[in-house]
């Protein structure tokens, strides 16, 4: 199979879809790998390392898309890449289609087989989302602390307090991977942390594994309204596989927040869990609504590429190799994790959450695969 890795186009996105060790594994298995010139440079991998691993370096993304059967990226295609997509092409990347109807329509129109890292599920785990969730969770308290400073229009409090001065209070909404990592870092920085979730097993695990400055609280609107006036930082860490994130903090609730408080909406990729959130970039990460700062960068790990690229690529390469070796259809039939990751195929929405989000028809992937096998059709 011909596999292509284009350079990411999203603002301040420094990650790359594959590292040289992954290239070498694929080439040794008989596949051809093409990578755009300088795509891995900011992740610490120069062109020479990719060449040594067996990749062919191409000048621009157009050549990558034209030549390759599978495109491996980090972030979803941007509008300037839409015309490069080809019918029958496999796209393996973070998609986050539930809040992005336009991209969903393009993938349907182009009849691309689009497999989202964030929906690949293996025995209840999300193995491709998890490493990026760890990083985003660990970064969230650090950026929140930075924007809490007065020169950033925050309230001017130090997250860990000082001698004789109480530390900041941090609210973490959610109890999954992002939440656990955000709690670990925020509590380590000395903050008093409240974790608000609905999964009693996850919250119990957090209580048992974290320090004494961490407590848990059941998540509902009543408790949210009681807690928001007390906290300096809110980290939104909610994710429901493939679905648009529920809005747990309404615009009205902003009136309960302290002026200069910082809200970090890590869930912004899936639409965000704050009503007033909108995606921002590393160039302009923060905006203010009713005196409350919102940090809504949609690619937080992209600013830490030497760590994030390796973590992501190490997780994705086994799935890439399996699809390259077997073809994506056979891989889906053999591997439920890959099957679960297919959002769109052959002009059909095959992820129920995406179909519901956009009020589109949903088609079970197994029916499409059966149709192709039975009648010799191709996707």
Backbone phi, then psi, for 249, in 5-degree steps?
-115, 110
What residues does 348 pair with on adjacent strands? 345
269 among known catalytic residues:
yes
**What's the order of all strands across the beta sheet hosting 56-58?**
56-58, 32-36, 2-5, 70-72, 90-93, 113-116, 342-345, 348-349
90 φ/ψ angles, rounded to the nearest 5 degrees? -95, 130
Catalytic residue among 192, 232, 269, 335: 269
Instruction: List C-alpha distances in Å: 126 to 49, 119, 206, 219, 291.
Output: 30, 7, 19, 23, 36
Nearest partner of 11 among 280, 265, 306, 233, judged by Cα: 280
- By DSSP bridging, strand 32-36 and strand 2-5 are parallel
Let me know: does 90 contact 328? Beta carbons within 8 Å.
Answer: yes
The 8-class DSSP code of residue 243 comes to: S
User: Is residue 303 annotated as part of the catalytic site, yes or no?
Assistant: no
Rg, C-alpha atoms of the chain: 22
Catalytic residue among 31, 96, 294, 358: 96
Q: Which residues are catalytic?
A: 96, 269
């Amino acid at each position: 199979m011909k596999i292509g890795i284009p350079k990411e186009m999203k603002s301040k996105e420094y990650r790359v879809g594959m590292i040289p060790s992954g290239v070498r594994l694929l080439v040794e298995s008989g596949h051809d790998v093409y990578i755009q010139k300088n795509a891995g440079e900011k992740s610490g991998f120069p062109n020479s390392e990719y060449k040594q691993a067996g990749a062919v370096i191409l000048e621009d993304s157009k050549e990558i898309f034209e030549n390759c059967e599978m495109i491996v990226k980090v972030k979803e295609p941007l509008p300037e890449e839409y015309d490069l997509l080809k019918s029958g092409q496999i796209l393996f990347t973070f998609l986050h289609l539930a809040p992005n109807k336009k991209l969903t329509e393009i993938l349907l129109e182009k009849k691309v087989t689009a497999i989202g890292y964030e929906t690949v599920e293996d025995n209840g785990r999300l193995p491709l989302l998890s490493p990026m969730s760890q990083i985003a969770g660990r970064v969230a308290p650090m950026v929140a602390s930075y924007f809490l400073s007065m020169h950033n229009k925050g309230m001017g409090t130090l997250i860990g307090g000082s001698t004789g001065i109480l530390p900041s209070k941090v609210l973490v909404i959610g109890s999954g991977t992002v939440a656990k990592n955000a709690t670990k870092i925020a509590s380590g920085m000395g903050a008093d942390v409240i974790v608000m979730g609905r999964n009693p097993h996850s919250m119990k695990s957090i209580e048992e594994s974290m320090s004494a400055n961490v407590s848990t609280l059941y998540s509902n609107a009543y408790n949210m309204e009681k807690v928001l006036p007390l906290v300096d930082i809110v980290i939104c860490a909610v994710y429901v596989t493939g679905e648009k994130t529920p809005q747990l903090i309404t615009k009205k609730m902003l009136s309960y927040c302290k002026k200069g408080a910082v809200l970090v909406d890590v869930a912004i990729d899936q639409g965000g869990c704050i009503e007033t959130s909108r995606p921002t970039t590393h160039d302009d990460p923060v905006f203010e609504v009713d005196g409350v700062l919102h940090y809504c960068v949609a690619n937080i790990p992209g600013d830490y590429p030497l760590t994030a690229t390796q973590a992501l690529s190490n997780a994705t390469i086994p799935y890439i190799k399996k699809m390259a070796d077997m073809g994506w259809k056979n891989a889906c039939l053999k591997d439920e994790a890959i099957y679960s990751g297919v959002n769109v195929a052959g002009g059909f929405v095959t992820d129920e959450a995406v179909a519901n989000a956009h009020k589109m028809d949903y088609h079970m992937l197994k029916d499409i695969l059966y149709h192709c096998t039975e009648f010799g059709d191709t996707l």
